[in-house]
C-alpha cells in the first residue's frame, strides 16, 4: 500500500506474513489520504521477508492512555477533535524499518592507539607564608601507531532504511537496539510495516562507515588500547546479507480547526510522544466574542446608571464600577486570542 | 592485500581478538637486552677508547676509527613525563659491564669500565676505594653529551688558568702533578615545563599631595596602594639540575654552560675510556630543585608585570603543564693536584673548556700587595700630621693622604675578598 500524499509505502502484517486482505485505511504516517494498493517493488522485495530482528511493542494500554492524555491536556482552547479518547481510538501500530547488514571483511588497517596514563603535575602557591606545593594527578593519553590485518565477520550492522529516519529518530528518541529480539510471528499481529525507501544500494554508503566503526572498535580492543583515532583501512567485503530490524511506533491523529489531520507519533518502546499540538483559533475567537458582549453590556449599564445618577447621585459610583468592569472585560477579550497565538507560534509547535 | 605488509619498522604483538593482527613499532634498543660490549679494536685487538678529538672510538695502536652509531639529536632528544609507568619503562643499567668504585673517604660512587685500573676517587683524590659490580637498578641515562675537549687541552687550559692570577704562587702552572685529568661523565637532569602563573598584589603608586597645616599649604609624598593582578606564561626549556651532590655545586655552576644542541643518544661507546657517575640525587629530589628555580623565574616574571616596583601582599598561583625530564650524562674533567702538601680540585667543562676550581693563594704576595696599596695613604697621612703646624700645606697633604687611605682600604678589601674566595673554593 502506498500513500499518494507522502509516498510512504506500507505492508500490512498479520501473523508474520503480508496480509493481502487488510482493509484500506488512512496513511498512518501523514493521515492525509487513504492508502492505495500497490505491488512491492523488485528493488525491495528480496530483502523484507522475513525481518531478522524486532523490538516488541512494550507500552501497556495505561501507558498509552497516559501519554495521549498528557498530549491532549494543557492546550488552551484545544480543537474539539483533540481529546485523549479520540487519539486512543485512532491508534495504529506500525514498524519502522532499519537495515541490518552482515559482511565478511578482510582488511589492512592502521590507526593511532591511545593509552591512558596518569602523571603527577604540580600546583604551587606563593603567599606571605612562602611557597606551598601540592601534587595534582592528571590523566593523559599516550598515542602510538598501530597497524594490522583483519579478517572478521560483522553481523547486524544497523543502517537507516528510511530517508527520513533521522527526523523520526529526533522526534521519537533513540531506540535501544540491544532490546531487539529475533522476529517472531506474535510480534506482527495487526501491524503495518513501513517499507524501506532506501534500497540496500543506497544504504551501503552508510553501511560502510558503520562497518568501519565496528572494525575500529574491535581493532582498539585487539590492540588493548583505551582510545583509537585516525583509523584507516583498505577493506574487501564479502557475503553481504541484508535483513530488517523493526522499530515499534504508534501513530494517531486529530483534526485541527481547518479539518487538517495532525499526526501524533509515540515511541512503542519508551513512550516518547511527538506531534504538533495546535490550539483552536475559532474557539478562541468565540471566547473573545463572549467577553466583548459582556463588556458591551457592562458599558450600557454604566451609561444607564450615569444617567440615573442625576436623580440619585449615589448611582454614579455604581456607574463607575460598571464602566470599570466593561473596560476589564474588553481587555480580557484579547486574552484568548493572544494565548492561542502564543501557543501556536512556530517556536512552540 | 599488499605483499609488503607490515612495513619495515613494525613487529607483531599479541592481539586480544582472534582474526585481528596487531603490529607495533619496533622498540628502540633497550639496555638490559644489549649484549656486553667489548671495546677491542677489530684490527689489532688493542683496547679502543672514545676520542674527544675525533668524536668516535679510536685505537691508539693502529689508528682504527669507528664513528658513533646514532646521530646527534640535540635538544630534540626525547623527554619523559613524570609517570610511574615511564619510570618503569625506562631501561636500566649501563648497557655494558662496568665496575663501580665506592670511595671510603667521600662516599662517592663512580662507574668505570671493567678493565679500568683506576683506584683513585675522581671526586676527592682519595685512593681509599673499593670496587664492586655496578648496580643495575639505576635509571639508565638516555642521552650523553660527548667530550670535545681532550686531556691535552685540559692540561693547557689548566696551566693557563693557574698562571693567570698574580695571587697564585709562582711556578704553580709548572707543577708536575697537574695533568692527571680524569674524564668523567656527570649525571644531570634536564627539565622542561610550561608555567602559568596568576598573580595578585598591592602595588604602590607614589604621588605628591598638598595639605593645609598650621595656616599654610605644604606638600608631602604618599604611597597609594592599589590591587593589581595578571598572568605570566613561561616555557622553561632544558633547565639543568645536577644529579650528583658529590662535587662542589659552586664549581659545577661555574663550568655549567653546557650546549645541549649536541646531545647524542646514549651509547656505551661514548663511555669507553671514561668514568661515569651514576646519579645520587634521584629524579624526585632533582625535580624539587628544578621547580625551585622555575618558580623563582615565574615569580620574577610576575613581578615584572606590576606597574611599579613597590609591591606588597604578593600572591601567586602557579600551574605546571607539560612537565618532562631527561637523564643525561655531561662531560667533565676532574683533576687533583698537590701543592705544599695540600690537595686541590679543578673541574673542566669537557665540552666548552670552561674551568673552575680551587687554587692555592700565595698570601705573602697578597699581604704585600695590600701593604703597597695602603702605604701611600698612610705615609701621606703621617706627613700631613707632621706638617699640621704649618697650617695650610699640612691640611692639604693630610687631606690627600686621608683620601688615598680610604681608596686604598676599599681596594685592599676587594683584593682580600678575591684571594679569600679563590682559596676557599
> For chain A, what are the domain ranges?
41-109+144-276, 282-348
Same domain, yes or no: B147 and B118: yes
Considering the domain boundaries, does residue B34 fall inside one?
Answer: no
Give yes or no for A223 touching B (CB within 8 A).
yes
**DSSP for B22-61?**
EEEEPPPP-GGGSPPP--B-TTT-PBEEEETTTTEEEETT
Considering the domain boundaries, does residue B306 fall inside one?
Answer: no
Collapse the DSSP code of A310 into the 3-class scheme (helix H, G, I; strand E, B; otherwise coil) and give the result: coil
Q: Model ipTM? A: 0.71
pLDDT digits (tens, 9 = 90+) for B143-191: 889 998 888 888 888 878 877 788 888 777 666 455 578 888 888 999 9
Considering the domain boundaries, does residue B49 fall inside one?
Answer: no
pLDDT at B30 over 60: no
Same domain, yes or no: B112 and B244: yes
- Give the whole-angstrom CA distance, residue A215 versus residue A149: 11
Collapse the DSSP code of B13 into the 3-class scheme (helix H, G, I; strand E, B; otherwise coil) and give the result: strand
Q: Which of A23-27, A250-254, B124-128, B130-134 has the lowest mean pLDDT?
A: B130-134
Average pLDDT, chain A: 87
Nearest-neighbour CA in chain B from A106: distance (Å):
8
Considering the domain boundaries, does residue B220 fall inside one?
Answer: no
Residue B353 vs residues B184, B198, B253: alpha-carbon distances, Å:
14, 41, 14
- Give the whole-angstrom CA distance, residue A251 versus residue A187: 17
Whether residue B274 contacts residue B94, with contact meaning beta carbons closer than 8 Å, is answered with no
Per-residue model confidence (pLDDT) at position A186: 79
Name the more confident of B116 and B41.
B41
pLDDT digits (tens, 9 = 90+) for B320-329: 988 889 889 9
Last residue of a domain, one of B357, B380, B399: B357
Residues B83, A117: C-beta atoms closer than 8 Å: yes
pLDDT digits (tens, 9 = 90+) for A281-298: 889 999 999 999 999 999
Per-residue model confidence (pLDDT) at position A323: 92
Which H/E stretch holds residue A293? helix A281-308
Same domain, yes or no: B136 and B183: yes
Over the Cα atoms of chain B, what is R_g?
Answer: 31
Considering the domain boundaries, does residue B226 fall inside one?
Answer: no
Question: Chain B residues with CB inside 8 Å of A131's CB?
Answer: 295
Give yes or no for A218 touching B (CB within 8 A).
yes
Nearest-neighbour CA in chain A from B217: distance (Å):
39
Same domain, yes or no: B259 and B397: no
Which H/E stretch holds residue A170? helix A165-172
- Grid cell digits, residue B230: 595578571
- Banded model confidence at residue B103, pLDDT cuts 50, 70, 90: low
Considering the domain boundaries, does residue B400 fall inside one?
Answer: yes
Question: Chain A residues with CB inside 8 Å of B21's CB?
Answer: 148-150
Same domain, yes or no: B130 and B255: yes
Same domain, yes or no: B255 and B350: yes
Same domain, yes or no: B273 and B379: no
Same domain, yes or no: B350 and B367: no
Same domain, yes or no: B178 and B263: yes
Nearest-neighbour CA in chain A from B77: distance (Å):
18
Same domain, yes or no: B135 and B263: yes
Range of the domain at B382: 363-424
Residue A302 vs residues A311, A312, A333: alpha-carbon distances, Å:
15, 14, 19
Give yes or no for A219 touching B (CB within 8 A).
yes
Q: Count structural domains, chain B.
A: 2
Long-range contacts of B292-297 (CB under 8 A, 24+ apart): B293/B239, B293/B241, B294/B191, B294/B193, B294/B195, B294/B234, B294/B236, B294/B239, B294/B320, B295/A124, B295/A126, B295/A131, B295/B195, B297/B195, B297/B234, B297/B236
Amino acid at each position: 500500500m502506498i500513500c499518494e500524499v507522502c509516498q510512504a509505502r506500507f505492508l500490512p502484517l498479520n501473523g508474520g506474513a503480508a496480509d493481502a486482505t487488510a482493509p484500506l485505511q488512512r496513511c498512518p504516517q501523514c493521515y492525509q489520504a487513504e492508502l492505495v494498493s500497490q505491488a512491492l517493488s523488485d528493488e525491495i522485495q528480496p530483502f523484507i521477508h522475513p525481518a531478522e530482528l524486532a523490538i516488541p511493542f512494550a507500552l501497556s494500554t495505561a501507558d498509552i492512555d497516559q501519554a495521549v492524555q498528557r498530549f491532549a491536556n494543557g492546550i488552551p482552547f484545544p480543537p474539539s477533535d483533540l481529546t485523549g479518547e479520540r487519539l486512543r481510538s485512532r491508534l495504529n501500530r506500525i514498524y519502522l524499518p532499519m537495515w541490518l547488514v552482515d559482511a565478511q571483511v578482510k582488511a589492512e588497517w592502521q590507526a593511532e592507539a591511545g593509552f591512558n596514563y596518569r602523571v603527577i603535575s604540580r600546583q604551587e602557591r606563593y603567599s606571605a607564608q612562602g611557597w606551598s606545593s601540592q601534587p595534582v594527578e592528571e590523566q593523559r593519553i599516550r598515542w602510538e601507531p598501530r597497524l594490522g590485518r583483519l579478517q572478521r565477520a560483522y553481523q547486524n550492522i544497523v543502517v537507516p532504511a528510511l530517508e527520513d529516519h533521522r527526523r523520526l529518530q529526533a522526534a521519537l528518541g533513540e531506540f535501544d537496539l540491544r532490546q531487539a529480539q529475533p522476529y517472531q510471528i506474535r510480534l506482527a499481529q495487526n501491524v503495518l510495516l513501513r517499507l524501506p525507501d532506501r534500497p540496500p544500494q543506497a544504504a551501503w554508503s552508510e553501511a560502510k562507515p558503520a562497518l568501519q566503526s565496528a572494525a575500529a572498535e574491535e581493532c582498539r580492543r585487539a590492540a588493548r588500547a583505551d582510545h583509537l583515532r585516525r583509523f584507516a583501512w583498505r577493506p574487501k567485503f564479502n557475503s553481504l546479507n541484508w535483513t530488517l530490524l523493526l522499530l515499534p511506533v504508534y501513530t494517531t491523529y486529530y483534526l485541527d480547526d481547518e479539518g487538517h489531520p495532525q499526526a501524533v507519533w509515540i515511541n512503542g518502546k519508551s513512550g516518547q510522544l511527538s506531534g504538533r499540538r495546535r490550539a483552536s483559533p475559532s474557539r478562541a475567537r468565540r471566547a473573545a466574542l463572549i467577553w466583548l458582549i459582556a463588556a458591551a453590556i457592562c458599558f450600557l449599564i454604566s451609561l444607564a446608571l450615569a444617567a440615573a445618577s442625576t436623580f440619585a447621585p449615589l448611582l454614579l459610583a455604581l456607574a463607575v464600577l460598571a464602566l470599570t468592569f466593561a473596560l476589564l472585560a474588553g481587555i480580557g477579550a484579547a486574552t484568548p486570542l493572544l494565548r492561542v497565538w502564543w501557543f501556536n507560534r512556530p517556536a512552540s509547535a | 592485500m599488499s605483499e609488503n605488509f607490515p612495513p619495515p619498522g613494525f613487529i607483531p604483538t599479541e592481539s586480544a581478538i582472534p582474526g585481528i593482527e596487531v603490529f607495533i613499532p619496533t622498540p628502540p634498543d633497550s639496555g638490559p637486552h644489549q649484549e656486553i660490549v667489548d671495546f677491542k679494536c677489530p684490527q689489532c685487538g688493542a683496547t679502543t677508547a672514545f676520542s674527544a678529538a675525533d668524536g668516535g672510538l679510536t685505537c691508539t695502536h693502529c689508528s682504527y676509527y669507528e664513528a658513533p652509531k646514532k646521530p646527534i639529536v640535540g635538544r630534540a632528544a626525547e623527554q619523559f613525563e613524570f609517570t610511574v609507568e615511564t619510570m618503569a619503562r625506562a631501561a636500566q643499567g649501563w648497557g655494558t659491564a662496568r665496575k663501580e668504585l665506592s670511595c671510603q673517604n667521600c662516599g662517592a660512587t663512580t662507574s668505570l669500565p671493567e678493565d679500568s685500573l683506576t683506584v683513585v676517587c675522581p671526586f676527592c683524590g682519595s685512593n681509599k676505594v673499593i670496587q664492586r659490580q655496578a648496580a643495575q637498578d639505576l635509571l639508565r641515562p638516555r642521552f650523553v653529551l660527548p667530550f670535545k675537549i681532550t686531556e691535552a687541552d685540559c692540561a693547557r687550559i689548566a696551566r693557563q688558568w693557574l698562571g693567570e692570577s698574580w695571587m697564585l704562587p709562582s711556578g704553580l702552572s709548572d707543577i708536575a702533578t697537574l695533568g692527571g685529568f680524569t674524564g668523567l661523565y656527570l649525571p644531570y637532569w634536564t627539565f622542561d615545563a610550561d608555567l602559568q602563573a596568576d598573580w595578585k598584589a598591592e602595588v604602590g603608586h607614589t604621588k605628591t599631595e598638598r595639605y593645609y597645616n598650621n595656616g599654610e599649604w605644604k606638600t608631602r609624598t604618599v604611597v597609594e596602594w592599589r590591587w593589581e593582578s595578571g598572568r605570566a606564561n613561561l616555557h622553561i626549556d632544558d633547565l639543568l639540575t645536577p644529579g650528583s651532590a658529590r662535587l662542589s655545586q659552586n664549581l659545577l655552576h661555574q663550568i655549567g654552560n653546557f650546549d645541549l644542541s649536541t646531545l647524542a643518544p646514549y651509547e656505551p661507546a661514548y663511555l669507553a675510556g671514561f668514568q661515569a657517575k651514576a646519579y645520587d640525587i634521584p629524579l624526585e629530589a632533582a625535580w624539587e630543585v628544578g621547580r625551585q628555580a622555575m618558580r623563582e623565574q615565574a615569580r620574577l616574571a610576575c613581578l615584572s608585570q606590576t606597574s611599579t616596583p613597590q609591591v606588597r601582599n604578593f600572591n601567586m598561583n602557579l600551574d605546571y603543564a607539560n612537565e618532562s625530564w631527561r637523564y643525561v650524562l655531561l662531560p667533565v674533567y676532574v683533576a687533583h693536584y698537590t701543592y705544599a702538601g695540600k690537595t686541590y680540585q679543578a673541574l673542566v667543562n669537557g665540552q666548552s673548556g670552561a674551568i673552575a676550581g680551587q687554587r692555592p693563594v700565595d698570601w705573602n704576595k697578597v699581604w704585600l700587595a695590600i701593604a703597597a696599596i695602603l702605604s701611600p695613604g698612610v705615609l701621606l697621612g703621617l706627613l700631613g700630621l707632621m706638617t699640621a703646624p704649618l697650617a695650610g700645606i699640612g691640611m692639604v697633604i693630610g687631606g690627600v693622604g686621608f683620601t688615598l687611605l680610604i681608596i686604598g682600604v676599599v681596594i685592599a678589601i676587594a683584593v682580600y675578598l678575591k684571594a679569600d674566595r679563590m682559596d676557599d673554593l
